[in-house]
Amino acid sequence: ARACEYEGCQVKALMDEMVQFPAGEWYCPSHGLLLAARDLVSLYRVEGDADWTAICEIIAELLPALVAKAEARERGKAS
């Protein structure tokens, strides 16, 4: 099991229910989505040209797993 590394989060779950970021940190799906969204906004709002390579990497490599795990967690709460 892994604990979410977001400050103050108490979520602990199996590794396949958590999301590992490229730098190695583990987050629950909710906090993973929040952090990915923050990263996307900060990359987009940078002064000058946005870093589209980094933005595309987050969208292509990180978000699909985050969305799938967040949806699975929500389905689990509903049952």
Does 65 have pLDDT greater than 80?
yes
Long-range Cβ contact pairs of 24-28 (< 8 A, separation 24 or more): 26/2, 28/4, 28/73
Burial of 25 (C-beta count, 10 Å sphere; 0-12/13-18/19+): middle
pLDDT tens digit sequence for 5-41: 999 999 999 999 999 999 999 999 999 999 999 999 9
pLDDT tens digit sequence for 24-33: 999 999 999 9
pLDDT computed for residue 37 by the predictor: 96
- Of the candidates 56, 34, 61, 27, the residue with the CA atom closest to the CA atom of residue 43: 56
Q: What is the pTM of this model?
A: 0.86
Contact 54, 22 (CB under 8 A): no
Tell me what percent of the residues of the chain surpass a pLDDT of 70.
100
